Chains A and B, each alone.
Chain A
Amino acid sequence: MSEKKNIVEDHHHADDHAHSHLPSDPELRVKALETLLLNKGLIVSKTLDELIDTYENRIGPKNGANVVAKAWVDPEYKKRLLTDATSAIRELSYQGRQGENMVVVENTPEIHNVIVCTLCSCYPWPVLGIPPTWYKSDEYRSRTVREPRKVLLEFGLSLDPKVQIKVWDSTAEIRYLVLPMRPKGTEKMNESELAELVTRNSMIGTGLPKEIK
């Protein structure tokens, strides 16, 4: 036991870093790398186009809004969503990359949930798409765990001190989605009308669903 463990150093020294050879203009950096990888047959343009099109046009917060609206109108679905979110979300055909293990956390009059990833930018892609810039910002990552109430105030959300805030820091491969409370006065609305009220930020915990006037 007294033997010192073999300490592996797999860091580079700053001046050895390959990335230091990249041009200072990021657009040129991408062009250089992209062309090199294309010419070497390691990537193909159509794959890049398909990926970008998928997340620009097909996978985004509308998916999450459909999940939330369904939970608002269907108590059995809501129960499944809160006990096995991955399967319940898959019922709507949303699944896969960065949503392999989903957990849905429910807002109540007593508890307000907020999602953050302090170590990187973990985010539930199949239901919310690619994270917005603010979610990936140093400011959101550093401050949300320490002063969630001040952070929420910047988003225009003022919570009663009696409401408990739970901040979920996505430190592993579980991806979180907030189930916001259904707004008052929406009893007569159907599922697709309700889905229109569900904002992206309300599913991260930095906002509320739209109110009806």
Chain B
Amino acid sequence: MSRLHDMGGRFGDGSIPIPRDDKNEVINLEPTFKYEWHAKAWAITLAAGALGEWNLDISRHYRECLPPKDYVNFSYYEKWLAALTNLLIDKELISISELKDYVYAAENGTLKKFSDNDIKLDHRTWLAKDVQKTLGWGGPSVRDINISPVFDIGDKVITQNYSPNKDISGGHTRLPKYAMGRVGVIHSYNNNHVFPDKNAHSLGENPLPLYTVEFKASEIWGELAENENDGILLDLWEPYLKLFPH
């Protein structure tokens, strides 16, 4: 079973919302953020993430397990905001009653920001002077551990037929449904990376070999493939794969 975010290949979506100019030419440079609240929602999410209470995989998992009707109805940054709110509550950085008070104040125009002197900064709070340094470092997911990859480049492999997340029913995974149970070829080995299926559920990083696997379009879509020789390449962790034939 998959979750709603796992939408690769699904039917029903219309044309791509490509911005165009008066002459119907594709516009290549839009504003980074369409509305100020988009910028704020994005920046607050990054700043709250820097508190270190959750990792990237956990935040993805929270967006993915929004109730399906919300996932469909929310715009991109509304999903971010909703997931952030749930994380802040679950990690006890804010309480439901605080949230309700501030929501009430926002709706009634009585929101009040304290003066800086009245605010006690948390020791984890991300300061402006550290922003460039932290962005420059990023959050590498490669781990330098001594695990040898099981598969060689050129090996034929088949992907798991069901969600590979064995620990959590309906849990986070990065094997999309459209590529489950399909035969592909190992294109490259990309070192050992933190395993999202565990890391998204606070079960440890469990770094494992990560491969790029190439599939023929006809293997994935059968006769519906636009062109059987086209290829689709996915980055897949070792537990998603078995040698084929097995």
Contacts and interface: CB of A to CB of B under 8 A. Distances in A.
Nearest to A168: B233
A29 B66 CA distance: 17
Given A18-B85, A172-B210, A164 B230 contact: yes
A187 B8 CA distance: 40
A129 to B, nearest CB: 6
A205 interface: no
A36 interface: yes
A34 B190 contact: no
Contacts of B48: 37, 42-43
A19 B107 contact: no
A109 interface: no
Secondary structure type dominating chain A contacts? mixed
B44 A37 contact: yes
A150 B226 CA distance: 9
Nearest to A132: B30
B231 A19 contact: no
B126 A118 contact: no
Interface string B62-85: 010111011000011110011111
B125 A42 contact: yes
Contacts of A11: 65, 170
Contacts of A143: 13, 16
Contacts of A28: 103, 106-107
Interface in A36-76: 36-44, 46-52, 54-56, 60-61
Interface residues of A, number: 96
Given A19-B66, A48-B40, A141 B138 contact: no
B125 A43 contact: yes
Which of B25, B35, B128, B178 has the most A CB atoms < 10 Å from its CB? B128
Contacts, number: 336
B175 interface: yes
A35 B7 contact: no
Contacts of A43: 44, 47-48, 125-126
Nearest to A19: B82
Contacts of A31: 106, 111
Given A33-B81, A164-B231, A207-B26, A23 B106 contact: yes
Interface in B142-187: 142, 166-171, 174-176, 178-179
Given A44-B125, A155-B26, A26 B16 contact: no
Interface string A3-42: 0010111111010011101110011111111111111111
Interface residues of B, number: 123
Nearest to A136: B76
B32 A129 contact: yes
Contacts of B70: 14, 17, 19
B215 to A, nearest CB: 10
Given A50-B131, A143-B16, A164-B230, 4 more contacts: A37-B44, A119-B6, A171-B175, A174-B212
Interface of A: 5, 7-12, 14, 17-19, 21-23, 26-44, 46-52, 54-56, 60-61, 95-101, 116, 118-121, 129-130, 132-134, 136-143, 145-151, 154-156, 161, 164-174, 199-201, 207
Interface of B: 5-10, 12-19, 25-26, 28-35, 37, 39-44, 46-48, 51, 60, 63, 65-67, 69-70, 75-78, 81-86, 88-90, 93-94, 96, 98-100, 102-103, 105-107, 111-114, 119-122, 124-128, 131-132, 134-142, 166-171, 174-176, 178-179, 190, 193-194, 196, 201, 210, 212, 214, 220-221, 224, 226-227, 229-237
8 contacts: A21-B100, A32-B99, A43-B126, A47-B43, A100-B138, A129-B32, A133-B19, A138-B7
Q: Which 9 A-B pairs have the closest CB atoms?
A: A118-B8, A172-B235, A19-B82, A46-B128, A32-B106, A18-B89, A14-B67, A173-B141, A96-B138
